[in-house]
């Protein structure tokens, strides 16, 4: 993932996880972002450019996957519901293309 996309998704993840803008979290999320991307790839969802209309759905999926990798202690109920909708939307989009 190129740096522009990484920066975009880093900011979206911090917003979704209610993380303040700190260097510590930025570095940690940036490291874990590749793991989240790989998890989504294995689920059949390719990397999505920040300019895509599906970028918000992808950001939601990345945020939940990142939060799992960070083992964060927060109420993830809303994010979990958003994730389910987003992953279905993304899978449908890429299944329909084939």
Determine the pLDDT at residue 73: 67
For 38-92, write each residue's pLDDT tens digit: 999 998 899 999 999 999 999 999 998 998 888 776 667 788 888 888 988 898 8
Determine the pLDDT at residue 36: 93
DSSP 28: H
Q: Is the pLDDT of residue 98 over 70?
A: no
How far is Cα 7 from Cα 21, in angstroms, rounded to an integer? 12
Whether residue 23 contacts residue 69, with contact meaning beta carbons closer than 8 Å, is answered with no
DSSP per-residue string spanning 50-72: TTSTTHHHHHHHHHHHHHHHHT-
């Amino acid at each position: 993932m190129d740096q522009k996309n990484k920066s975009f998704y880093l900011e979206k993840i911090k917003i979704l996880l209610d993380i303040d803008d700190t260097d510590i979290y930025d570095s940690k999320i940036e490291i874990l972002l590749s793991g989240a991307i790989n998890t989504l790839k294995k689920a059949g969802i390719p990397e999505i450019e920040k300019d895509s209309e599906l970028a918000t759905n992808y950001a939601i999926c990345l945020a939940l996957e990142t939060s799992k990798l960070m083992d964060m202690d927060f109420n993830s109920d809303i994010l979990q519901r958003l994730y389910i909708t987003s992953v279905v939307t993304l899978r449908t989009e890429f299944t329909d293309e084939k």
